[in-house]
Amino acid sequence: MKAISAKDNISLRTKKDRIFLGLVVLFSVITASPIVLIIFKLIEKGYKQLSFSFLFENTPDTMEAMTAIASNKLIPGGIANGILGTLLMVGMAAIIAIPVGIITGVYLYENQRKWMANITRNVSDILQGVPSIVLGLISYLWVVKHVTHGYSALAGSASLAIMMLPMIVRSTEETLKMIPQTLKEAGLALGIPYWRVLFGILIPTGFSGLMTGILLAVSRVIGETAPLMLTALGSSVINTNIAKPTSAIPLVIWEFYNDPNMVDLIWSSSLLLMIMVLSINLISKQVAANRK
Partner 1 sequence: MNSDKITKIVLFSVSFIILIVAGGMVFSLVGGAIPAFKTFGLGFITSTHWDPTHGQEEYGALPFIAGTLITSFLALLISFPLSFATSLFLGEYYRNTRVAKILGTMVDLLAGIPSIVYGLWGFYVLRPFLISIGFENQGFGVLTSSLVLAIMIIPYATSLSSEIISMVPNDLKEAAYSLGSTRYEVILHVTVPAARSGIFAGYILAFGRALGETMAVTMLIGNRNIIPNSLFSTGNTMASVIANQFGEASGLKLSALISIGLLLFVITGIVNWIGKLIIKKMS
Instruction: Scan residues 131-160 and list those touching partner 1 (CB under 8 A).
Output: 131-134, 137-138, 141-142
Residue 150: partners with Cβ closer than 8 Å, 6 or more residues away: 144, 243, 244, 245
User: Contact at 8 Å (CB) between 157 and 198?
Assistant: no
Rounded CA separation 135/29 (Å):
35
**Counting contacts by CB under 8 A, is residue 47 touching partner 1?**
no
By CB under 8 A, name the one of 79, 83, 92, 106 that touches partner 1: 106
**Counting contacts by CB under 8 A, is residue 190 touching partner 1?**
no
* Closest approach of partner 1 to the CB of residue 33, in Å: 9
* Closest approach of partner 1 to the CB of residue 63, in Å: 24
**Counting contacts by CB under 8 A, is residue 43 touching partner 1?**
no
**Counting contacts by CB under 8 A, is residue 112 touching partner 1?**
no
DSSP 200: I
**Counting contacts by CB under 8 A, is residue 279 touching partner 1?**
no
Residue 67: partners with Cβ closer than 8 Å, 6 or more residues away: none
Residue 68 or 106: which CB sits closer to partner 1? 106
User: Contact at 8 Å (CB) between 210 and 128?
Assistant: no
Contacts (CB under 8 A) with partner 1, residues 50-89: none
* Closest approach of partner 1 to the CB of residue 9, in Å: 10
Rounded CA separation 233/229 (Å):
5
Residue 113: partners with Cβ closer than 8 Å, 6 or more residues away: none
Residue 30 or 63: which CB sits closer to partner 1? 30
* Closest approach of partner 1 to the CB of residue 232, in Å: 13
Instruction: Tell me how many residues contact partner 1 (CB under 8 A).
Output: 79
Residue 138 or 155: which CB sits closer to partner 1? 138
CA-wise closest residue to 255 among 218, 220, 225 = 225
Contacts (CB under 8 A) with partner 1, residues 205-264: 219, 222-226, 229-230, 250, 253-254, 257
Q: At what angle do helices 80-110 and 207-222 cross, to 10 degrees?
A: 140
CA atoms within 13 A of residue 255's CA, in its CB half-sphere: 23
**Counting contacts by CB under 8 A, is residue 48 touching partner 1?**
no
* Closest approach of partner 1 to the CB of residue 236, in Å: 18
Rounded CA separation 46/69 (Å):
16
